[in-house]
Structure 1
Amino acid sequence: MHAYGLPPAYAQAVLRITDARTGEPVEAAPARRGLTRVEAHASGLDPTSLRVLLVSDLLVRALELGGTPVWSLLSGEHEQAELRAAARALGIRPFEDGGDLGSGLGEAQVLHVAVEGGAGATGGVLVAVAPVESPTTAVPDLSDPGALRLALLSHARDLPVRLDTDALEEARRTLAHWRGSVADWARRPSRPVPDEVRVELRTAWEDDLDVPEVLEVLRRVENWPDLADGARFETYAYADRLLGLELTRDIGSLA
C-alpha cells in the first residue's frame, strides 16, 4: 500500500519526451504557449499503426492539459480513411487535414510519432513506438474499442505488446470494474483530487509519457484507506482526460 505524504512543490508543468534520434529527453513544448505539431506516421490498418495513433493522441492530450496549443496530422500512404475511422472508434482526437499549414502557424516544436526502426520524418523530435504482436489477425478488432485502448495503454510505448485474447479480456474486466466503481463513487458527495495524487499523476505523464504509472496511481487510489469516494471519483475523472477510457460512461446506469 502506497503511503501518501505532503506533495512536493509543483510549479510549471513540463512534459519531457525521449527523442529516439539522440536518446535524450527534450521538452515537448520548449516555448511557453508555443504551438506544437504532433504528426503520426502510420501506413496501413494494423495494431502497430493504431498504437502509433494512440501515442500521438496521448501527446496531444498531455500537451493540452499543460496549456500548450496543439495540432495533429496523420501521415502515410495507405488506408488513410480506414485509419481515421479506427481512430474515431478508439476515441483518438481528429487529425487535421493538410500537411502544409505549419509554416503559417508559427510552430515552436514538431513531434514525429513513428514505429521504432521505421522511416521517420526529418526534423523535430522523433517519438518511437514499439510494435504490437497480434497472433490472430493483422486487422485489429474494434468491437470493444475501450478494451483495445486500455490493453495498449498498459505498456510503456517503447516496449513491444502482445495483443492476444488474454490481454484483451483482462482489459475488459479492468475497464468494466473501473467504470462500475466510478459510477458508484459519483453518487457520493464530490471531493477534490488530493494534491499529492494530482502531483503523482502529472509527474507520471510528464515523465516521458509514463502512462502505465498513471494506471498504477489509479489502482492505489482505489484502495487508499480513508479516502472519500467523491475524491476517488474526481481523481479518475481527472486522469481520464489523458487516458480517454470513458471511465464516467456508466454514471446513472447503476441502481
Structure 2
Amino acid sequence: MLRILDARTGEPVPAAPARRGLTRIEAHASGLDPTDLRVLLTADLLVRALELGGTPVWTILTAPLRLAELRTAATALAIRPFEDGRDLASGLGDAQAIHVVAGDGGPVPGPGPVASVAPVVWTGEPGPPAADGTRSGATPADSGVGRDAVPGVPPGASPTPPRLPLPDLLADPAALRLALLSVPRGEPVHLDRAGLDRAAQRLTHWRRAVAAWARRPSRPVPEEVRVRLRAAWEDDLDLPAVLEVLRDVEGAPGVPDGARFETYVYADRLLALDLPRDLGTLA
C-alpha cells in the first residue's frame, strides 16, 4: 500500500482508503516556475502509483495565476490532465483528499494528508538579456531595479539564484522529468545545464537498450524485481530507489534481455519517460 509522509503531522499515512475508494489529488500551484511543475509532477506520480494499486483517482489543479500556461507545461512533462473543478467529483462517493503543495505553500484548505515538495533551484547561468536589460525569467529585483531596497545586497549583485526561462527548461521535457525524479521530493533539486544533459544522455541510453532488448523473446518481470519496484514507490514515492532498481536490472548477470525489457516497460507506467520510444528503430 502506498504511504506518504503527511506534512501536517510528520507521520506516514496511507494514500488511499482501506477499501480502495476514490482518492482525490489536489495540486496547489502558486504560479509558473520549476517548483510549481514539481508540485504537478508529484501529483501525477501519486495518480499513477495509486492506479497501479487499483485505486480510482480524481485530480484537481488549483492555481491562481497563469493556469493555461501551467497546463501546457504540464502536458509537455507528460503529466496527465487535471480536472476543471472539485464539484465534478460529486456523486462519486466519499473521497480522501491528498494535497500536494510546495514546502512553503502555507495553509492548505480542507482536510486530508499533505505531500510537500521541496523547491527547484536553477544553479546554472541565467537566460539571455531581454529587451529591457533584465535576464529572461527574472524579476525586477534580479535586474537591479530597486536594488537599494534589498538590505545587504551590493549594486549589481543578485539576491536570488539565476533562473533559466521556462521554455528553455522544457526544451527536453523528458530529461527534465528524469532530473526531477532523481531527487527525493523532500529535498531541493539543484538544476544546471550539465545535469539536464546527463539526464538526456541517460534517457537516450535506456531507450536504445529497451529497443535492443525488445528484439529478444519476452520474459516476465522477475518477482524479486517487481517487489523491489513496488516497495520503492510505495514508500513515500521513493523514485530515486525505483531508478536504482532499473540500473541494477540493466547490469545484473543472468537476467534475460526479455525480462529487462518487461521490467523497464512496467516501471515506465509510473515514470512516464517514454522508455519504449525507440522500439522498431534500426540499431
- Please confirm whether the aligned pair reaches a TM-score higher than 0.5, indicating the same fold: yes
Structure showing greater radius of gyration is 2
Contact in 2 for aligned 1:89/1:145 (Cα 8 Å): yes
- CA shift for structure 1 position 143: 1.1
* Partner of residue 7, structure 1: none
- CA shift for structure 1 position 30: 2.1
* Partner of residue 125, structure 1: 113
Does residue 196 of the first structure (1) align with residue 183 of the second (2)? no
Q: CA separation in 2, counterparts of 1:116 and 1:138?
A: 21
Does residue 45 of the first structure (1) align with residue 73 of the second (2)? no
- CA shift for structure 1 position 213: 0.1
- CA shift for structure 1 position 97: 1.2
Q: CA separation in 2, counterparts of 1:36 and 1:237?
A: 25
Give the partner amino acid of 1:125.
Answer: P
Structure 2: gaps spanning 5 or more residues: 127-162
* Partner of residue 3, structure 2: 16
Q: CA separation in 1, counterparts of 2:171 and 2:197?
A: 12
Which portions of structure 1, spanning 4 or more consecutive aligned residues, are displaced by more than 6 angstroms?
none
C-alpha RMSD over aligned residues? 1.1
Which of 197, 202, 206 is matched with 1:178 structurally? 206
Which of 222, 225, 237 is matched with 1:209 structurally? 237
Q: Report % sequence identity.
A: 67
Give the partner amino acid of 1:106.
Answer: G
Normalised by the length of structure 2, the TM-score is 0.83
1:169-202 deviation line (CA, Å, top 9, x unaligned): 1100100100010000001100000000000000
Normalised by the length of structure 1, the TM-score is 0.92
Q: CA separation in 2, counterparts of 1:36 and 1:126?
A: 13
1:106-150 deviation line (CA, Å, top 9, x unaligned): 233100000012123331110000000014335422110000000
* Partner of residue 274, structure 2: 246
Structure 1: gaps spanning 5 or more residues: 1-13
SS in 1 for 2:187: coil
Does residue 105 of the first structure (1) align with residue 105 of the second (2)? no
* Partner of residue 71, structure 2: 84
Q: More deviation in 170-179 or 118-127? A: 118-127
Q: CA separation in 2, counterparts of 1:154 and 1:121?
A: 30
Contact in 1 for aligned 2:246/2:264 (Cα 8 Å): yes
Give the partner amino acid of 1:223.
Answer: G
Q: CA separation in 1, counterparts of 2:4 and 2:195?
A: 27
Q: CA separation in 2, counterparts of 1:122 and 1:22?
A: 15
Q: CA separation in 1, counterparts of 2:282 and 2:189?
A: 34
